[in-house]
DNA sequence: TCGCTGTAATTGTATATGCAACTACCCTGA
DNA sequence: TCAGGGTAGTTGCATATACAATTACAGCGA
């Protein structure tokens, strides 16, 4: 019976698991964007952060993490790399703990240069996943931010 | 004007980027499952592989990678860790290049034990993302496998 | 002003991920 | 039988990700 139980569990997980599906799509789509951005020496994960910083003007790490549902330690390392490349710079702050950052001129130029690459990947992603996907994802994210988030 | 171009590009990307959204959902959902599976010393990425192996009986790495749209080098490392933990074992093969693997008895026990944890996370994910999400993801994946895949 | 509590970010450690280069092996044709 | 081309996996390297522990600082209350 244990063998049957296992088979049942395995079939259920294989047939329904949300994480398996989301993670698979995430891999495929991330590769699509990373391929299109490679000529610019940029990855989509980094472009996300550049865009968030550009929208915020001066970005506080914790705020960016809230917005992107990203662990602060992850952002810390990513920002570190991007500072080293000259795309981001830290802005002084009265609060000695804070490390707010913003785009450098070089970061702005990179973002502009890479935008056509993003556009190309975005079109491919729409073809692969279907037109309705942006709305479906937005709906899930709205729901996510409503239901209550811990991290 | 360059500033305007930048603003426009940033707004478009922030407002529509499929990758940003998918990656965000992926982080949230992965954390949900990883939290639920932590008591069993298991991560959802590893459970995926256990399940795939369980369904295949004897799994060829390249085949698993096709199925999960996973790079072979990634799987190689993951399987390595899981062999070290005694969950997977390599099956001898006439082809000296092949490294087909399967679940060990310990791996089967772990999968059974962890199934309730998966169930809990799956329910949370449905609440957070909405009921229709599994169908939407399945549709995207079918489309993905139809349109043509390189990796 | 001193100590306590809470907050912001970093650092140590482990896993996941992919590209490029490599190794080991198979098979086929001369 | 052996040389070439193709296939299956692994390894070197870089990035992304999160948890736990730590550091550094702010602010409040006695």
Instruction: Quick: pLDDT tens for B57-68.
Output: 999 999 999 999
For chain B positions 55-94, those within 8 Å of chain A (CB to CB) are 55, 68-70
CA atoms within 13 A on the CB side of A27: 20
Tell me the helix, strand and coil percentages in chain A, rounded to 5: 75, 5, 20
Could you read off the pLDDT of B79-104 as tens digits, one per residue?
999 999 999 999 999 999 999 999 99
Q: CA A19, C1' D28: Å apart?
A: 45
Residue of A nearest to B8 (CA): A112
For chain A positions 8-27, those within 8 Å of chain B (CB to CB) are 9-11, 13-14, 16-27
Q: What's the whole-model pTM score?
A: 0.94
Tell me the β-bridge partners of B88.
B103
In A17-104, alpha helices (H): 18-37, 44-56, 61-68, 72-84
Tell me the β-bridge partners of B59.
B101
Q: Residue A1 above 70 pLDDT?
A: no
Number of domains in chain A: 1
Query: What's the rounded Cα separation, in Å, for the pair B139 and A129?
Result: 8
Query: What's the rounded Cα separation, in Å, for the pair A144 and B124?
Result: 11
Q: Is the CB of B76 under 7 A from strand D?
A: yes
**CATH number for A16:** 1.10.10.10
Q: Residue B131 above 90 pLDDT?
A: no
Residue-number span of the structural domain to which A96 is assigned: 2-147
CA atoms within 13 A on the CB side of A20: 23
Could you read off the pLDDT of B9-28 as tens digits, one per residue?
999 999 999 999 999 999 99
């Amino acid at each position: 019976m244990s063998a049957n139980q296992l088979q049942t569990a395995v079939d259920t997980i294989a047939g329904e698991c949300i994480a398996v599906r989301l993670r698979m799509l995430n891999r495929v789509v991330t590769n699509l964007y990373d391929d299109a951005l490679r000529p610019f020496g940029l990855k989509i994960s980094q472009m996300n952060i550049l865009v968030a910083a550009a929208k915020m003007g001066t970005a506080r790490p914790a705020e960016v993490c809230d917005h992107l549902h990203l662990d602060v330690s992850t952002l810390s390392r990513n920002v570190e790399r991007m500072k080293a490349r000259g795309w981001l710079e830290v802005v002084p702050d009265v609060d000695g703990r804070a490390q707010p950052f913003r785009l450098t001129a070089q970061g702005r130029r990179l973002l502009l240069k890479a935008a056509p690459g993003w556009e190309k990947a975005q079109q491919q992603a729409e073809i692969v996943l279907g037109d309705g996907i942006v709305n479906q994802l937005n709906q899930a994210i709205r729901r996510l931010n409503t239901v209550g988030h811990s991290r």
